[in-house]
Amino acid sequence: MPRLARIFVKASFVYFVAALLLAALMALDGLAAGQWLRSTYLSQVHLLVVGWISQLIAGIAYWMFPRFLKEQNPQPRGSDRLAWLVILSLNVGLLLRFALEPFALMTGRPWLKALVALSGVLQVVGIAGFGVLIWGRVRTMEI
Amino acid sequence: MPTTTRVSVKASFVYFVLGSALGALLLVNRWIPMWDGLFDLRDTHVVFVVDGWVTQLILGVGWWLLPPLQIGLKPGDSSWKRRGQTQRGSEPLFWAIIGLLNAGILLRSLCAPLFEWTDVRLFDVLAGIAPFLLLAAAVGFVVIMWGRVRELKRR
């Protein structure tokens, strides 16, 4: 399994545990951080759907989809730089949202909302980058 | 990768990008309120990502990769021969399943907000049909794939 795929997959494992840990904490009553925890609900869903499921899919697809032929692209799995951009953009966006959204919801401060909006844009950049990275590999395999 | 899978996988990528762009737009709208009606697109965002991206990708890759049907084996055969697409199951039925899934996704995700914005009854009716199209796609997929969830005996 190539290094970039391993990073996608291991990151997805971390989000899987983190999201379910949050869910378990939410189920506990009377915690001092109760209001903060409740405010993380939307972020928690995104940790699961984007951080765990989508990132795992991205990693496995990056690993297993038919590779480019040498004459199509000297890099058999596509641009490493683009793959790194996808990983960084997606994960920075996810973590930024998780860190700031509860406070944005609790306080309503415009600068916090702006950063949460930026987190969404970063995730779209990562996802669009993944689409570009993998599109040409959705093909039949020439033997 | 068969054509059926390529179509459903590429469609899933399009939904993923569109769904996440909608999500980002909703976050931006929370910061700089542009239009109240944007909130009605929240369900569209969820349907695009969960049904259009995750579910459709699973259907396409499952169709491609799950063990083939045991066709053409005679008692006592110790090996099986690939017969191409027919060993995946009925291709026309799989096309119908993908068609139903995408019709359901588009009707559900577009007609519901259109009804909220325009109050035109037809959109409400079309949005109401969508769950049944999605259900038909799900039932069709399970029927077509059930026999392929099996142990793969290697030669």
Nearest-by-Cβ selection for A141 from B1, B24, B30: B1
Q: Is the pLDDT of residue A31 over 70?
A: no
Q: Is the pLDDT of residue A57 over 60?
A: yes
Q: CB distance A123–B23 less than 8 Å?
A: yes
- Rounded mean pLDDT, A14-32: 80
pLDDT value at residue B89 = 86
Q: What is chain A's mean pLDDT, rounded? A: 89
Nearest-by-Cβ selection for B27 from A120, A130, A138: A120
Of residues B64 and A28, the one with the higher pLDDT is B64
Question: Are B100 and B136 contacting, i.e. CB atoms less than 8 angstroms apart?
Answer: yes
Report chain B residues whose CB lies below 8 A from the CB of A127: 16-17, 20
Place of tokens 């030669």: B155
- Rounded mean pLDDT, A45-73: 90
| CA pair distance B124, B101, nearest whole angstrom | 19
| CA pair distance B92, B143, nearest whole angstrom | 14
pLDDT value at residue B147 = 84
DSSP code string of B98-116: HHHHHHHHHIIIIIHHHHH
Instruction: Report ipTM (2 d.p.).
Output: 0.77
| CA pair distance B133, B97, nearest whole angstrom | 9
Place of tokens 């796609």: B137
Which residue ranges of chain B lie beneath pLDDT 50? none
Extents of the domains making up chain A: 3-135
pLDDT value at residue B86 = 67
pTM of the full structure: 0.83
Q: CB distance B28–A120 less than 8 Å?
A: yes
- pLDDT tens for each residue of A109-135: 999 999 999 999 999 999 999 999 999
